[in-house]
Amino acid sequence: MDDVAIVGIGMHPFGRHEGVSGMEQGAIAVRAACQDAGISWPDLQFAVGGSAAAGNPDTMVSMLGLTGLQFTNVANGCATGGTALFTACNTIRSGEYDLGIAIGFDKHPRGAFASDRPVVPIQEGDHDWYGGSGMAINPQFFAMKINRYMENHGITNRTLARVAAKATRNGSMNPMAWRKNPFSVDEILQSRMLAYPLTQYMFCSPGEGGVALILCRADLAHKYTDKPVYVRSAVVRSRRFGSFEVKASYLANEQCAGPTVDASKVAFEQAGIGPQDVDVAQLQDTESGAEIMHMAENGFCDDGEQEGMLERGDTEIGGRLPVNTDGGCIANGEPIGASGLRQVHENVVQLRGDAGQRQVPNHPKVAYTHVYGAPGISGVTILCR
């Protein structure tokens, strides 16, 4: 049932912004979303916000207005944005409130994701030999997981590079993206090897940015916009025993699918549709291998079919299933609190038909987002117009 609508969107560009705090970037996104919906901050009845490193989101009321609204802070790793949206949707569905906002923002310094580096801190100007040589835990995990997947399902290094090349091409058409310089497949393959088989240009980077989405009861949507986008489902799931996830200390003998598979199945069931009905998808691409594996985990192909799909261009903007049309994490970077909402923002833009050069053709009607966070949380959202 389409009982919640997104009626306003706002975004602060992703990247690095000296002199602008993460919270200020979030506040800029909120003001843009309010303008998009034709409302002001005092009109909102509740807010849900997430940030990993830029302060408690509720303190941003001092920048936006002390109106006394209910404000809930959420934290769920890289799935924080998806969790903020999920919580906001359920708040409206409960009947408690009619109009609210989901907010995500962050500001990470260079090397912020190498939380497992040696105890001695890296001084300004020093070379980050630890993370820079692929020894940080997250790159090693991603590399091990995709190595095994490539061996089992016949995925080549060139396919990994095709994912990153597509991301940088799409990012070059996105004014909100951080990296707007497209790289060729060969340039990506020849970039510095960090954690085999993943090269430097196959990874995303910690960054900065903010996103805000205004939601309301679906029957009220046309009060705020003539292009409402409806939330068909919003699901968050954690890992089960036997799944192999980030920072897992062992691999169980009894293996099972990860949380993405569970979240995707429930989301499709709630929406009453299947993967074949999706016109555009944003999938977590912390690095190239993640997008490839998530294509299968979300039900868009069988394991191993990605090789042919990437070669044929199926996931390009004009392909059968456009994936990460805004450049994904690879082109945008990953400010943790904002990343999942960036995906939803892009899908709203696509369903409205406002994506310009990167617009998916043939008037897309159904859009899908998937975000994955350590140590094993996945969020899936399905939107329609």
Q: Which pairing describes strands 198-199 and 193-195: parallel, antiparallel, or unpaired?
A: antiparallel
CA 265 to chain centre: 18
Q: What is the pLDDT of residues 117-138, one digit of tens each?
A: 444 444 455 555 555 555 567 7
Class level of CATH domain 4-110+206-223: alpha beta
The residues, any chain, with a CB within 8 Å of residue 208's CB and separated by 6 or more, are 14, 15, 16, 17, 20, 22, 25, 106, 107, 108, 333, 335
pLDDT of residue 168: 97
Asked whether residue 2 carries a pLDDT value surpassing 70, the answer given is: no
> Which residues touch 136 (CB under 8 Å, ≥6 apart)?
113, 114, 115, 116, 117, 130
**Residues whose CB falls within 8 Å of the CB of residue 166, separated by 6 or more in sequence, listed in order:** 310, 315, 316, 323, 324
CA distance 178 to 171: 8
Q: What is the pLDDT of residues 232-284, one digit of tens each?
A: 999 999 998 888 877 777 777 888 888 999 999 999 999 999 999 999 999 99
Question: What is the residue extent of each domain of the chain?
Answer: 4-110+206-223
Over residues 157-181, the mean pLDDT reads 96
How sure is the predictor about 226, in pLDDT bands with cuts at 50, 70 and 90? very high
- Is the pLDDT at 299 greater than 80, yes or no? yes
Per the prediction, the chain carries an average pLDDT of 91
Q: Which residues does 167 contact at the CB level (< 8 Å), separation at least 6?
A: 285, 324, 327, 328, 330, 331
**Pair 106, 22: CB distance under 8 Å:** yes
pLDDT computed for residue 241 by the predictor? 87
199 forms beta bridges with 193
pLDDT at 122: 44
Rounded to 5 degrees, what are φ and ψ at 94?
A: -70, -15
Predicted confidence at residue 109, as pLDDT, reads 77
The pLDDT tens digits for 306-343 are 999 999 999 999 999 999 999 999 999 999 889 999 99
Cis peptide before 139 (omega within 30 of 0): no
**DSSP state string for 261-319:** HHHHHHHHHHHT--GGG-SEEEE--SBHHHHHHHHHHTTSS-TTTHHHHHHHTTTSTTS
Confidence at 141, pLDDT banded by 50, 70, 90: confident
Model confidence at 53, pLDDT cuts 50, 70, 90, reads confident
* pLDDT at residue 118, rounded to an integer: 44
pTM value surpassing 0.95: no
